[in-house]
Amino acid sequence: MWLALLIGIIGFGGFFATYTYISHTMTSVAGIPEALIPLVVALYGLGMVAGNILGGRIADKSVMGTIYRVLPLIALALVAYAVAAHWAWSAFVMVFIVGGIGSMLIPPLQTRLLDASPDAPSLASSLNHSALNIANALGAFLGGVVIAWGWGYVAPALVGAVLAILGSASRASAAGWNARSRWLPRPGHALRRARGR
């Protein structure tokens, strides 16, 4: 459960790092008029709706598999967004794609937390929302830091890509630890062997 929360915080941190500064990116980098920003946000929202639906259907086959596959996709989408943001037409397309791929992480994370806490589903749901709020604050903060350093408004997307990669790395570390733990002697086995002697 804690791994799922950590992945949610890290993965969605990148998602929110991009979304927080999306209007500035569109106007300052892509050259989109401010009057069209509501359309940009609407496209982002439509992408999130599509991503939620698609993520839920894929998670029906494999919850953790969906989480582990979506994180690298988020990183790739954010890097592509950072490049595409320099042209208005490609920025519109990537806004929809980033919203869709990012929100694909929500259904499997929620399902994983509920599966891990069958006796306290309400608590698990609240923890998921807490993780998303922490991710929101983390992403906005880190995005603001790189902007303040003068790296430009596309820099938060690159920060988000790094966070998504870190989320994937945490998954790989956990998988490696689980694999090693299978070969470690268990205290109970050692005790029984000692008594048998």
What domains does the chain contain, in order, with CATH numbers? 2-196 (1.20.1250.20)
Q: Measuring CA to CA, which residue among 126, 166, 125 is closest to residue 142?
A: 166
Whole-number pLDDT of residue 192: 46
Give the whole-angstrom CA distance, residue 153 versus residue 185: 52
Question: Does residue 27 sit in helix, strand or coil?
Answer: helix
Whole-number pLDDT of residue 65: 86
Give the whole-angstrom CA distance, residue 105 versus residue 70: 6
pLDDT along the chain (197 residues), means of 10: 76 87 96 96 96 93 87 95 96 96 89 78 77 89 96 95 85 47 42 46
Whole-number pLDDT of residue 1: 65
What angle is formed at CA 120 by the lines to CA 16 and CA 124, rounded to 5 degrees? 5
Residue whose entry in the numeric block shows the structure tokens 């698990």: 124
Q: Angle, to 10 degrees, between the axis of helix 88-103 and the axis of helix 63-84?
A: 160
Whole-number pLDDT of residue 4: 72
Give the whole-angstrom CA distance, residue 160 versus residue 140: 10
Whole-number pLDDT of residue 88: 96
Q: Please give the distance of CA 44 from its chain centroid, rounded to a whole number.
A: 15
Q: Is there a contact between 112 and 63 (Cβ–Cβ < 8 Å)?
A: yes
Total-model pTM: 0.82
Whole-number pLDDT of residue 14: 84
